[in-house]
Amino acid sequence: MVNCQLKEIKTQLRLAMNGFASTTMRESGIAYKLNFGVELPRIKQIAAQFEKNHDLAQALWKENIRECKILAGMLQPVETFYPEIMDIWIEDMPTVEMAEMTCMHLFQYLPYAPQKSLQLIANEGEYQQICGYLIIARLLAKKGDLEERVENELLDQAVVSFIAGSYHVRKAVQTALKKYMAGNEQHAFTLCRLVEPLKDSPDEQAKQLWQWVMQEVEINFS
């Protein structure tokens, strides 16, 4: 059954292949072993033809194909997606685009997402941190707030991650902090107070974080 569904999905992806989009992504640094260049709306149409199925989603994720991995996140039931499996998927995460897609379609809906996101942002792995901050950004977009303990851990870890992390980690931190500040002056004030000591830091990344926060506050609250 799963093999037949997998074959059908691959057939539809080949028929929907967009060579120009595939080439453009490859040239911009988004590299996969195989990339059909299928746009997200078409991928969603294909996903809508199938019921959520754990075995199918796991089989899709094992395919080193961009569109199959996106579909895996769409078709994976949250009830059977245990933390250990999540760890395996993140270890196998091929690109930042895939981290964004999987957080959007699956990770944010997991019942253990808030607790797991804190573990991820405290992890030293690049994609662990990226996924952690992207999950938190999604949760903030839905709820608008966090529990006090979660909020404190986010803010403390965000500073550390921004200063020590890669370019993509810093972008994920900014995404989460933007959602944290969005329309909330108290949150903006809290973040300003947190980064104020970084204003005269000799560390370039630390100073950059302070400058970015000040700029965001000026744009959104002045």
Give rounded-to-5 percent helix, strand, coil for the chain: 75, 0, 25
**Whole-prediction pTM:** 0.92
pLDDT per residue over 162-184, tens digit each?
A: 999 999 999 999 999 999 999 78
pLDDT surpasses 70 at 142: yes
pLDDT in tens, 179-202: 999 978 999 999 999 999 999 999
- Which of 19-23, 150-154, 190-194 shows the lowest per-residue confidence on average (mean pLDDT)? 19-23
Query: CA angle, 163 as apex, 161 and 164 as ends, to 5°?
Result: 65
Residue 25 has pLDDT above 70, yes or no: no
pLDDT for residue 62 is more than 70? yes
pLDDT tens, residue by residue, 36-46: 889 999 999 99
Report the C-alpha gap between 79 and 86 in whole angstroms. Answer: 12
Q: Measured between alpha carbons, how far is 37 from 51 in angstroms, rounded to an integer?
A: 24
**Which long-range contacts link 6-9 to residues 24+ away (Cβ below 8 Å)?**
6/56, 6/59, 6/60, 6/63, 9/46, 9/50, 9/60, 9/68, 9/71
Can you give the pLDDT at residue 128?
98
- pLDDT average, residue stretch 103-125: 96
pLDDT value at 85 more than 80: yes
Mean pLDDT, rounded, for 127-148: 91
Confidence check: pLDDT of 31 > 80: no
Beta bridge partners of 34: 65
Between 31 and 6, name the one with better pLDDT.
Answer: 6
Mean pLDDT of 155-162: 96
Residue 199 has phi, psi (to 5 degrees) of -55, -45
The CA distance from 56 to 2, in Å, is 6
3-state SS assignment for residue 34? strand
Which residue type, as a one-letter code, is found at position 132? G
Q: How many Cβ atoms from other residues are within 10 Å of residue 17's Cβ?
A: 13
Alpha-carbon distance of 59 to 57, in angstroms, equals: 5
134/130 Cα distance (integer angstroms): 6
Could you write out the DSSP letters of every residue in 96-112? HHHHHHHHHHTGGG-TT
Mean pLDDT for all residues in the chain: 92
| pLDDT at 127 (0 to 100) | 98
